[in-house]
Amino acid sequence: MSVGFESGNQRILDLIDKGITPAQVRTTIEAMSGAGIGVQMMAFTGFPSETAAEAMDTVKFLADNRKSWTYGGVGTFVLTSGAIVARHPERFGIENLRPIPDSDIHRVLLYDEPGVAEADRRRVDAAKQALDPCDYPRPWMSATDTPHTFFYHGRYGTEVRELTQAAKRLTAADQHTAYQANGEFVGRPDDALLTAYRDEHGLFEGDTPPAGCALFRRADGQLFLIPANVERVLRNFTAPTSLAEATARTWLADSTRLWRLYASFVAERLLRRASRASSPEVGRAPAGAALPLAVR
């Protein structure tokens, strides 16, 4: 079930005439989840006049009710030409409405909103991204009500998230599983690639990546800056290779740290399972949780 609750802030809900309260949304999704119905949540921030604190109410609502939904998307408000906001911009405190340059069909409009700090936008965007990183950009995000997700929810219900997350975790049995790089290195980043990387990750011109990094393009097109020491490890998986084999090739490295690095590769989907080895031997995974890579 897809739930477009839009905002966790009552003033914004009233402003868009949604006709609900956050408490009602909470009661509804708790009931559906309790009945085994997978719930997808959809909301947005950036509605005209919304403050950073009000936007954070939406993030907090989702975080506080995390057990009641499987997947969710928090987008950014887009003004369409037929919306009441476009017809009465003065009511919502926006001005200078204009079409996107060189567009033939003016379905989406640009506008100016005085008093909105870029730093606040970045803080909200970071909170949204950290809230619930999605396992797969499509079809799960930007189209959470597509038939793809309905098919999965129809079969697995509230367990769908565990199903998709399982592919992003390592267990002791995976030491002898063959993995392969889920993408390719595209060389040292030139100006064009760095610009693409900044655009993709919401960085600014002054945000300089660490020196000596390589650029890795994941199979879905997303770009990652990989430090040189990490690049050497990831290149072990150019062809299908088990984790045990890769560890043997990097015998000077600490095995516990390597395991954590492998776990990060899998969590970021920089590695994908190629095939499962038939050997019944299962090695013991070093203790310690997966550590995220600071590569993007």
Q: Is the model's pLDDT at 287 over the cut of 50?
A: no
Domain 2-164 carries which CATH code?
3.30.750.200
Name the average pLDDT for the chain: 81
Instruction: Look up the pTM and report it.
Output: 0.62
Q: pLDDT for 236-264, tens place per residue?
A: 999 999 999 999 888 767 888 889 999 99
**Cα dist. 136→131, 164, 200, 293 in Å?**
15, 8, 16, 18
Hey, where are the domains in the chain?
2-164, 167-276
Helix spans in the chain (H): 10-15, 22-34, 52-64, 84-87, 118-131, 147-156, 160-166, 191-201, 228-234, 243-249, 255-267
Q: pLDDT for 118-176, tens place per residue?
A: 888 899 999 988 876 555 555 444 454 566 777 778 888 888 878 777 777 888 889 89
In DSSP terms, which residues pair with 256 in a beta bridge?
Answer: none
* Cis before 48? omega within 30: no
Q: pLDDT for 86-103, tens place per residue?
A: 999 999 999 999 999 988
* Lowest-confidence segment of 57-61, 151-155, 187-191, 201-205 by average pLDDT: 201-205
- What is the pLDDT at residue 256? 86
- What is the pLDDT at residue 89? 94
Average pLDDT over residues 35-40: 91
